[in-house]
Structure 1
């Protein structure tokens, strides 16, 4: 049967030129959709969709609910079956009741990129009024360049995508009833019928050596590329050559895996050694691939894999040494940041000495003019509901000091208010930090631009590194953050590192009331807890 199909393919180019060479190709279209269909038991069938029907027609009595345009295998010969939602019927007939039945007519192979001919099974056995070809639910005469001559479908050029099931519809009349007898033809498009070149061994390479571990399983894989061919002749085998003697070979039991592509086939032949022994290392292994055009072979050997004992003895200590050195470099580079994180989060220093101030607040004034500040100062009920707008307009520098002193009862130090003038600024700053339990810096663009303010921040960081009992807190105002652009002159390196790791809060006048409350709650938690009066609520 297969030989007949192949020989039939060879005659396609001479037969198919009957109508494809004409300038005006005939395109056969159907009339109104028929409602009575015949199919052969065991053949694939698809019910055409009627455009006039609103919902998909489903096959009744089969139990699987196939809709129109869906392929299924016709079965249960001898009964007429109706279609739900339609007046269409399907009559399945047995193969034995056909006037003539040739199994080879149900499948055909076509060569790609030339003309092709698809016969309609049983066309000569009935009185036909016309033949119409479909693929799936679409007319072939509309979908592509083709024609029909004596019931046979002529494809002017065969493409790879033509692989699939084609249907030929013949109109017949029995006892005054018009039927459409639909037959299925399986079409397979091939690049060529015979291989053009011998196989190519892609892996392993010639005379290569594979490493194996004694006592462990090992797979020998041979990957070969073959040309496509109809009459399959491809073969891949593994042989074991005792003592490396190529004349003394034994065929091995292998497993085969194939990947079929359009024009070639990739074959992987695998031999599994369940447990590698020293005897395996004395033999050679040959992969032999062949087809009708020729053959190719590759021989390899096995060798024991180096366990790397000396490498381990040297490598592990060296790796540990590199790890220790790397950690040392990281600690050296990040040592200041690590110290600041540890000292600012964990207060282990003893603070038995009484401090003069609870909080030293450092800021650079960024609020409104003196007149506006005066108006804010005389406004009654600063924390009432009517004062909500006032609290948003009030500068954080003013409000922070008032909340800490008046509401929370902390002893606050401000350089411009609590330090007598006439002294050295640097000495005053260092002494004030030493006399305070906590340093709060309100950071802004103007703060970073002031050398005096940056000096206060740097002095606080140095004091924190020397005295773990000191607490520091940064309050970032709107427009500033830890990624603040370096001003001119640049900030000291110690300050740059401290800004990344010191505890901080964010304040913004545009923040909603819930965010403002969260700010004050977080600030209260960060403050020294044993010097303040009971805290009142801050709106």
Structure 2
């Protein structure tokens, strides 16, 4: 039992006899005194004047305290006064008291029984009466109780009685009437001794906890204890090496507890910084005890299994997610996928009866034809003899010559083969339908020309409708699919097509091997029968 606590449970049958069995006279103060005494270190609360609601303030410290507010009385020296607006508080040093018993300031009472609370120092002074308060309310008004020889007798003790009770005694010193207020801390308890041994709530007996090797792990033991005044509860973790119950070693633990009115929940934890394979071979015991008895639980550790989705749930769910993802990809990239498929694999019927083999679309950006007429052109587009001259000639002029004169293809050029006076859009669409292949020589000027972009867009639409049509892009003068966006911006269909359609790169700055590779790749991309014809003519 802790010092300073007095138990009146044992005296209850005698001290309350004749007090609670009959109606008692209620003792009340007939006026509010203006002079109060308190003992340093004790809790104090100035009663409120119902008519004035006055405040008590610490004059020296400059701190205000509202009436009814509890605080610890302090004093710099003996008999120093603290004055307020209407009341005077004098704090007395403990050493100046006639008799001072610290144990009188604390009391334990049993719930649902009767109990007595003594007034500290009552026998040391000439008292003219004792009035008990709880907070700012006289106990005799709120409770079935009585005061006998200064002691407060409660007929029935409730859980809510836990708190501070005040006993006020009237004393007279040098002709001045004082109220000497003393505080008593009351704690209501369910019973003195525990009635049951501890109960281990977690872990369960003979269970195995899953752990991950190389990771930290906490061994947690949760135990419920019955209330007891003299605390005897204890919780410990032991390790049993190799599972041998006779070879037990105490482990370092941390404790956390939650206290309620009738029980205490204790959580005892041992922390493993890193789980090793050796830990899996040991057993671990949580041992709990109190004054009534003890209980223990032994567990083992096992390696945590990888989480696997059940086939009846995981596989359908995974397939559903896969279908959703594929649907999103197809919805976003459907046009690109169609263009890739149709430009690489031709399934349409190519009967060879088209009027033109190649429809060449370009925007002239080089020098005039007369300026390049003096260039020497080799009989073969990639021969070593005329390589320098062939690379200096603009591709827009060179390409039709090679396709017609050297490879024997029937080439269509809008400015040459389409009669003037017709509708441009109709002429373009009709020419594409009359051709087996569309070659677009792309440059910054080409992509900035609305007429040229219309030809490219019409070819893409025709390719999506007729898989027999072939398309080829020739990028010139360092342009590529990642070129700077032109003004006005390209249509979305054209922008997507530029990323996926077959293409070749032409540049006059490339070495002869790259130029030769360009013509070889171009020849392979031409319609098959004309390619064979070109090879035969050469």
Normalising by the residue count of structure 2, what TM-score does the alignment of the two structures yield? 0.58
Matched, 1:62 2:61: yes
Corresponding residue number in structure 1 for 2:258: 259
Q: Does 1:219 align with 2:203?
A: no
Q: What's the offset of the Cα at 1:320?
A: 3.9
Question: Residues 284 and 301 of structure 1 are in contact (CA less than 8 Å); yes or no, is this contact kept in structure 2?
Answer: yes
Q: Distance in 1 between matches of 2:149 and 2:61?
A: 35
Match of 1:73 in 2: 72
Query: Partner residue of 1:325?
Result: 323
Change (3 A) 1:46 1:151: same
Q: How far 1:53 sits from its partner (Å)?
A: 1.5
The whole-number CA distance in structure 2 between the counterparts of 1:55 and 1:137 is 13
Q: Which structure 2 residues correspond to residues 86-235 of structure 1 after superposition, within 5 A?
A: 86=86, 88-235=87-234
Q: CA deviation at 1:67?
A: 1.2
Per-residue deviation, 1:311: 5.8
> Could you tell me how far apart the structure 1 residues matched to 2:45 and 2:10 are?
30
How far the C-alpha of 1:25 sits from its partner, in A, is: 1.4
Q: 1:6 to 1:97 in 2, by over 3 A?
A: closer
- Write the distance in 2 (CA, Å) between the matches of 1:225 and 1:136: 34
3-state DSSP of counterpart to 1:61: coil
What's the CA shift string for 1:466-519, capped at 9, x where partnerless?
Answer: xxxxxxxxxxxxxxxxxxxxxxxxxxxxxxxxxxxxxxxxxxxxxxxxxxxxxx
Q: In terms of mean alpha carbon deviation, does 178-187 or 9-18 score higher?
A: 9-18
Q: Does 1:26 align with 2:19?
A: no
Partner SS, residue 325 of structure 1: helix
> Contact between 1:58 and 1:68, CA under 8 Å: does it hold in 2?
no
Separation in 2, partners of 1:215, 1:311? 24
Deviation track 1:48-105 (CA, whole Å, cap 9, x = no partner) reads 111232553433323331111101111114244344321x111111111111111110
The gaps in structure 2 that reach 5 residues or longer are: 332-538
RMSD: 2.9
Alignment of 1:231-246 (within 5 A): 231-246=230-245
Structure-2 separation of matches of 1:128 and 1:206: 63
- Partners of 1:177 and 1:210 in 2: CA distance: 74
Distance 1:188 1:84, change over 3 A: same
Separation in 1, partners of 2:53, 2:181? 24
Q: Per-residue deviation at 1:179?
A: 0.5
- Distance in 2, matches of 1:215 and 1:331, equals 40
CA offset at residue 2 of structure 1?
A: 3.0
Equivalent residue, structure 2, for 1:35? 34
Unaligned runs of 5+ in 1: 336-539
Name the counterpart of 2:10.
10
**Residues 108 and 188 in structure 2, CA contact (< 8 A), matched pair in contact too:** yes
- SS of equivalent to 1:11: helix
Partner Cα separation in structure 1 for residue 313 and residue 254 of structure 2: 40
SS at match of 2:280: helix
**Whole-Å separation in 1 of the counterparts to 2:21 and 2:246:** 59
Q: 2:190 & 2:204 partners in 1: Cα distance?
A: 29
| Aligned-partner Cα distance in 2 for 1:171–1:241 | 67
Partners of 2:170 and 2:177 within 8 A in 1: yes
- Tell me, in whole angstroms, the C-alpha distance in 1 between the residues paired with 2:267 and 2:327: 51
Which SS does the other structure have where 1:141 is aligned? Answer: helix
Secondary structure of the corresponding residue to residue 66 of structure 2: coil
In the alignment of these two chains, the number of paired residues is 333
- Work out whether residues 6 and 103 of structure 2, in 8 Å CA contact, stay in contact via their aligned partners in 1: no
Contact 1:56–1:67 at 8 Å: present in 2 too? Answer: yes
Does the 8 A contact of 2:145 with 2:154 survive in 1?
A: yes
Give the 3 Å change call, closer, same or farther, for CA 13–327 of structure 1 in structure 2. Answer: farther
Aligned to 2:277, the other structure's residue is in SS state coil
C-alpha separation between the residues in 2 aligned to 1:25 and 1:291? 43
Distance 2:199 2:179 in 1: 51
1:14 alignment partner, SS class: helix
Q: Find the aligned partners of 2:327 and 2:24 in 1 and give their Cα distance.
A: 83
